[in-house]
């Protein structure tokens, strides 16, 4: 399995799903971004880790890290190993007494824990090819790392509308969605283009 390193770029609020957020992962040495829809609690936990804040009481992910450290368990890496029916699947790899163990995890939890351990996050080249969106930022346009911007609203009927659009219309809409940092809409358009086996 060829692994590709990812970094957490930031979070964006989802107005399409109440209480949901888009976790934006960037592909190392690339302009490709992978958006993953996550819940509000996980988004809060990731945001706290990104901002290096200390909540008055430990969150569940903080408790997990404290437990691991107490028993000298080291998190080696997180691997997002599968993407199926719109869901990302991840594994957390731990080391204890020189032995490597793996645990299945929701991707949002795995990322929240990896940030606290300062551990690398990887995925496969196949998943990058299936899910990544290419951004064409200039140095002046690129948003600050680890800072979230609100996502623009996306109407629920948009996904069905794309089926009647031409490829050129879809590509134009995708460029606009990316420029607006509306990763949810860009993901829907990407999926429609993939259905038609169109390169973008």
Span 144-163, pLDDT tens digits: 444 444 333 333 334 567 78
Averaged pLDDT score across all residues of the chain: 81
pTM score of the predicted model: 0.69
**pLDDT higher than threshold 90 for residue 174:** no
Distance (Å) of CA 160 to CA 28, 149, 165, 175? 33, 26, 10, 19
More confident residue, 91 or 58: 91
Which CATH homologous superfamily contains domain 3-143?
A: Bifunctional nuclease domain (3.10.690.10)
At 112-144, the pLDDT tens digits run 999 999 999 999 999 999 999 886 544 444 444
Residue extents of the structural domains in the chain: 3-143, 152-200
Average pLDDT over residues 89-97: 95
Q: What is the pLDDT of residue 149?
A: 40
Residue with tokens 């509306």: 182
> How confident is the model over 175-188, as a mean pLDDT?
69
Percent of the chain topping pLDDT 90: 45
Q: What is the pLDDT of residue 193?
A: 81
Helix count and strand count (H, E) for the chain = 7, 8
pLDDT the model gives residue 192: 81
Give yes or no for residue 66 having a pLDDT over 80.
yes
pLDDT at 93 over 60: yes
Confidence of residue 16 (pLDDT cuts 50, 70, 90): low
Percent of the chain past pLDDT 70, that is, above it, reads 80
pLDDT given for residue 113 in this prediction: 96
- What does the pLDDT read at residue 156? 39
Contact residues for 95 (Cβ-Cβ < 8 A; gap 6+): 73, 74, 75, 76, 101
What is the model's pLDDT at position 155? 37
Cβ neighbour number for residue 54 with a 10 Å cutoff = 7
Q: Which of 11-25, 38-52, 119-133, 139-153 has the lowest mean pLDDT?
A: 139-153
132 three-state secondary structure: coil
């Amino acid at each position: 399995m060829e692994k590709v390193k990812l970094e957490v770029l930031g979070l964006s609020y989802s107005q399409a799903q109440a209480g949901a957020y888009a976790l934006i992962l960037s592909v190392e040495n690339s302009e490709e971004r992978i958006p993953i829809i996550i819940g509000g609690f996980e988004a809060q936990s990731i945001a706290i880790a990104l901002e290096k804040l200390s909540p008055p009481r430990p969150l569940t992910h903080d408790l997990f890290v404290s437990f691991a450290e107490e028993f000298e368990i080291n998190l080696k890496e997180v691997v997002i190993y599968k993407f199926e029916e719109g869901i990302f699947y991840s594994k957390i790899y731990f080391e204890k007494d020189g032995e490597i163990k793996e645990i299945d995890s929701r991707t949002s939890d795995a990322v929240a824990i990896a940030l606290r351990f300062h551990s690398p996050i990887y995925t496969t080249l196949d998943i990058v090819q299936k899910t990544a969106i290419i951004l064409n930022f200039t140095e002046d346009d690129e948003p600050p790392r680890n800072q979230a911007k609100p996502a623009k609203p996306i109407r629920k009927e948009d996904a069905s509308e794309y089926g009647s659009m031409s490829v050129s219309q879809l590509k134009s809409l995708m460029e606009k969605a990316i420029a607006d940092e509306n990763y949810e809409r860009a993901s829907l358009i990407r999926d429609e283009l993939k259905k038609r086996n169109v390169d973008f």
